[in-house]
Amino acid sequence: MHGTITNNSSMKFTAPSGSSVVLDVVGAVTLNGSGTLTSTNPNNEIMGYAQAAGGSLLNQSTIQGTGQFGGAGGIGTGNSLINGTKGTIFANQSNPFVINVGSGSFTNTGTLHVKTGSAMYATGGGFTNFSGNTLTGGKYMVSGTLGFDGANILTNAANITLTGASAQIINDLNSANALANFATNATTGSFSLLSGKLINTTVTSGNFSNAGKVTVGVGSGFQISAPSPLIPTYTQTAGTTTVDGVLTAAGGVTIQAGKVFGRGTIASTVVSSGSVTVGDSATKAGKLSLSTYTQKSTGSLNVQIGGLTAGTQYSQLAVANGVSLNGTLNIKVVNGFVPAVGNTFTILTTSARSGTFAHVNGLTIPTGGHFTVAYNPTNVTLTVGP
């Protein structure tokens, strides 16, 4: 390959069993276009080792299948593979897709995608996104196995999505779980667990910190652990946490700033100085279950009223072991719903309540009437009046 290649269709290279096809790179090569380049043979090579030093491949298209970048000898000294911002490398066959970096370099600013039952490995070092136990830049959409040398991710400053129970990121030198001690999701980090993925991370400091975006999807779980005698905690200093599955930290969850969304379970005490929305967005109501809940003076609770059914049409915060209220309650009528006089909405349930909201917004109903807030020993309700 030489120069700039634009592929807006489908290109495939294959070979009989025991044979291979080698695509060499001569000089600086850019692959553009909306099409796909598919390798169907695990012996196929892209960027074979024969190219001269200074060879590079910038992928701004989709390369998929199985085979090896760099071949048996690696990408080579002075050579580079860059998966660009528009690029996708997709492992979607039973044989792995191997990026044999060797003495060259590999940088991902696009997407590495691994299908269920497939694997992708970046071997030989030279993976520039990973340094000092921090993964930076690019998207990693993993339903199968993604591995790279020395993988031990303590800080995520990239975009990681693990989908399904078998999804994993490993150190390909010893198959160790790369997220076993995951401790910090940075401002630029996005970390998502979807479709039944369960993660238990042991944080050596005892505290997991989020300043970016954490999502725990339906049927998925994120458990924070710590070595004895530390008690694990989850602290959000900025960003968002969405819990539609289960988030667990025995020492509690502290929301110093940022936003929480969800219709799942936070199986911990929650202390919030930030924003808690009961549901997945400002227009999607849900039921969010907590162990205990303390809302500070700067905290806010956001509820949506879109019908008469708790947890699906209107928001309900279900707190098992006690609530202490302060701060602000924000009420929003959504989805064209017209509350009728006499309708009552139980927006919070608990075993014991103390305190009240210092400020309440949204008491006036846009279609007429108003809400009255009632603070009862074990719940908080909104009742519609004229």
Which secondary structure element, helix H or strand E, spans residue 241, and what is its range? strand 240-243
Question: Do 326 and 297 form a contact (C-beta atoms < 8 A)?
Answer: yes
Residue type, 232: P
Tell me the mean pLDDT in the region 103-131. Answer: 94
According to the model, what pLDDT value does residue 303 have?
98
**Could you tell me which of 265, 208, 263 has the C-alpha nearest to residue 239?**
208
Question: Do 121 and 147 form a contact (C-beta atoms < 8 A)?
Answer: yes
- Considering only residues 167 and 105, tell me which one the structure prediction assigns the higher pLDDT: 167
pLDDT reading at 375 higher than 70 = yes
Question: Do 313 and 343 form a contact (C-beta atoms < 8 A)?
Answer: no
pLDDT one-digit tens code per residue, 81-101: 999 999 999 999 999 999 998
Pairing mode, strands 284-285 and 275-281 = antiparallel
Question: In which band, very low, low, confident or very high, does the pLDDT at 77 lie, cut at 50, 70 and 90?
Answer: confident
According to the model, what pLDDT value does residue 27 have?
79
pLDDT one-digit tens code per residue, 16-37: 776 677 777 777 889 999 999 9
Tell me the mean pLDDT in the region 66-93. Answer: 87
Question: In which band, very low, low, confident or very high, does the pLDDT at 120 lie, cut at 50, 70 and 90?
Answer: very high
3-state secondary structure at position 178: coil
| Mean pLDDT for all residues in the chain | 94
pLDDT one-digit tens code per residue, 185-237: 999 999 999 999 999 999 999 999 999 999 999 999 999 999 999 999 999 99
Q: Quick check: pTM over 0.75?
A: yes
According to the model, what pLDDT value does residue 28 have?
85
Question: In which band, very low, low, confident or very high, does the pLDDT at 45 lie, cut at 50, 70 and 90?
Answer: confident
pLDDT reading at 40 higher than 70 = yes
